[in-house]
């Protein structure tokens, strides 16, 4: 199919996991099914029992006609189709660039607590719509991510809530990864939605996902809001609808085809859009298609596990590749640019880190200070940049996000959240230097905060 050759950001095609080989023995298939059921049941029970703390949200509570918050949302624009059979022009609020009309915005807040994304067919038959994204403004790594929405149905309509890897500019699709939290297309009928992941080797028609039907006669357009979400943790994605206890599809690093790369342990940004199809997966408009469609979003929320508690206080940090070591100001020096290393635990002030998120930008990030007013600093944005000690100055190089992985944390700098605080070369010798390196979930990037 054409889709397999396109460098698109968002392909959207669904393929449920491959069927078993017909040569497999029946008992093997049954055993695998039982094991998968037990795995999914255990994960779902764990998700239901977990408690969550709201990290970020947009509640869309502004006055009627207000544009989406520019601190949270920017826009993809134009009519390229983005590698898909789409025929709409995406417009930004306030644009009069033909065929966009500023007085008929495609994205606005309605004054009743909703974001409105509306697709409009003008008198010339041209469709306009909106595609919002948090790229460059808000990005996230792990947690529970959901949107409460009302969706339109109609031939050719393609509403979606999804995510793309924040490194898409340096690692184009599908290498950056794509998580389709919710999609609807006409072939599903109004009773069904889907969730799918795409990555290198399992993209487009080979994406890994599932369709799920509403229970008890429910529909996409049953006049009720529905919640569409994912519970995202290292090496695991759990997709749900209406409640995190209703996990219907679990994808893990062992789910993807052998030899292919799991690309979902890095930061992602969010997207909301209402596309209009012109064949293929999204279908096509026809005489039955309404001339406008409205997608309502009550909220978008990102939660973190309550296990990821506030780290404010004074702590030591222990790398999990060698638990006898501690994060250390080399030589207990207060010279600007002094290297940071790991060193045998010794109880000195050089290994005592005052962690605080007070007045740190971005909100929720932490400064890590030692030796008074000197802060842990990422000296650059590239993978392999040295980590040093500099006077605290409020820069993004000194703001660190603490991502809970359960009993430990990964620390990512705000100046490049794709990097993690890393023991160089996975070294275990006292004096090994610290760097920022592309996050890979290795034990040399996992830190126990004691």
Catalytic residues: 178, 183
Number of neighbours of residue 190 by Cβ within 10 angstroms: 17
Residue 239 contacts residue 248 (beta carbons within 8 Å):
yes
The encoded tokens of residue 160 equal 């979606």
Q: Residue 236 and residue 249: Cα distance in Å, rounded? A: 11
Q: Which residues lie across from 195 on neighbouring strands?
A: 210
SS3 42: helix
SS3 382: coil
Residues 6+ apart with CB under 8 A from 423: 319, 321, 322, 325, 342, 432, 434, 444, 445
**Which H or E run includes 113?**
none
Question: What is the phi/psi pair of residue 44, to 5°?
Answer: -65, -40
Within 13 Å of residue 170, how many CA atoms lie on the same side as its CB? 8
Number of neighbours of residue 348 by Cβ within 10 angstroms: 13
SS3 4: helix
Q: What is the DSSP letter of 20?
A: P
Q: Residue 20 and residue 6: Cα distance in Å, rounded? A: 28
Q: Residue 127 and residue 10: Cα distance in Å, rounded? A: 19
Number of neighbours of residue 239 by Cβ within 10 angstroms: 27
Residue 384 contacts residue 402 (beta carbons within 8 Å):
no
Q: Residue 241 and residue 426: Cα distance in Å, rounded? A: 40
Q: Residue 139 and residue 268: Cα distance in Å, rounded? A: 5
261 burial (CB, 10 Å; 0-12 / 13-18 / 19+) is middle
Q: Residue 207 and residue 11: Cα distance in Å, rounded? A: 9
Geometric angle at alpha carbon 121, from 120 and 125, rounded to 5°: 165
The encoded tokens of residue 413 equal 């700098």
- Whole-Å CA distances, 15 to 23, 230, 349: 21, 18, 55
């Amino acid at each position: 199919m054409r889709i397999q050759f396109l460098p698109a950001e968002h392909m959207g095609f669904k393929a449920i996991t491959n069927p078993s080989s017909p040569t497999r023995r029946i008992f093997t298939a049954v055993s695998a099914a039982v094991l998968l059921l037990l795995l999914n049941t255990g994960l779902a029970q764990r998700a239901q029992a977990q408690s969550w703390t709201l990290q970020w949200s947009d509640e869309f509570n502004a006055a009627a006609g207000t544009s989406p918050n520019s601190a949270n949302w920017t826009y993809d624009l134009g009519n390229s189709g983005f590698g898909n059979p789409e025929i709409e022009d995406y417009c930004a609020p306030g644009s009069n660039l033909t065929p966009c009309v500023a007085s008929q915005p495609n994205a606005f807040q309605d004054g009743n607590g909703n974001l409105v994304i509306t697709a409009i067919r003008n008198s010339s038959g041209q469709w306009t719509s909106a595609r919002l994204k948090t790229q460059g403004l808000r990005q996230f790594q792990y947690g529970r991510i959901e949107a409460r929405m009302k969706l339109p149905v109609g031939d050719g309509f393609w509403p979606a809530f999804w995510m793309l890897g924040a490194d898409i500019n340096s690692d184009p699709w599908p290498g950056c990864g794509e998580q389709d939290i919710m999609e609807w297309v006409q072939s599903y009928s109004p009773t069904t939605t889907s969730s799918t992941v795409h990555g290198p080797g399992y993209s487009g028609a080979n994406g890994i996902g599932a369709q799920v039907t509403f229970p008890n006669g429910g529909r996409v357009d049953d006049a009720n809001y529905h919640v569409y979400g994912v519970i995202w943790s290292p090496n695991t994605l759990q997709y749900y609808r209406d409640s995190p206890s209703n996990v219907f599809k679990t994808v893990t690093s062992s789910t993807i085809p052998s030899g292919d790369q799991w690309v979902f342990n890095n930061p992602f940004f969010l997207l909301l859009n209402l596309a209009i199809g012109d064949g293929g997966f999204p279908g096509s408009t026809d005489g039955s298609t309404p001339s406008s469609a409205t997608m309502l979003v009550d909220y978008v929320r990102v939660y973190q596990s309550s296990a990821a508690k506030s780290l404010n206080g004074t702590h030591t940090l222990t790398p999990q590749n060698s638990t006898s070591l501690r994060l250390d100001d080399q030589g207990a020096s207060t010279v600007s640019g002094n290297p940071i290393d790991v060193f045998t635990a010794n109880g000195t002030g050089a290994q005592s880190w005052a962690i605080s998120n007070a007045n740190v930008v971005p909100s929720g990030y932490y400064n890590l200070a030692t030796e008074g007013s000197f802060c842990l600093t990422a000296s650059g944005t590239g993978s392999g940049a040295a980590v040093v000690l500099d006077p605290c100055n409020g820069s993004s190089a000194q703001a660190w996000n603490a991502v809970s992985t359960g009993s430990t944390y990964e620390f990512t700098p705000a100046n490049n959240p794709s990097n993690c605080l890393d023991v160089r070369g996975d070294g275990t010798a006292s004096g090994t230097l610290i760097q920022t390196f592309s996050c890979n979930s290795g034990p040399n990037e996992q830190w126990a905060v004691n």
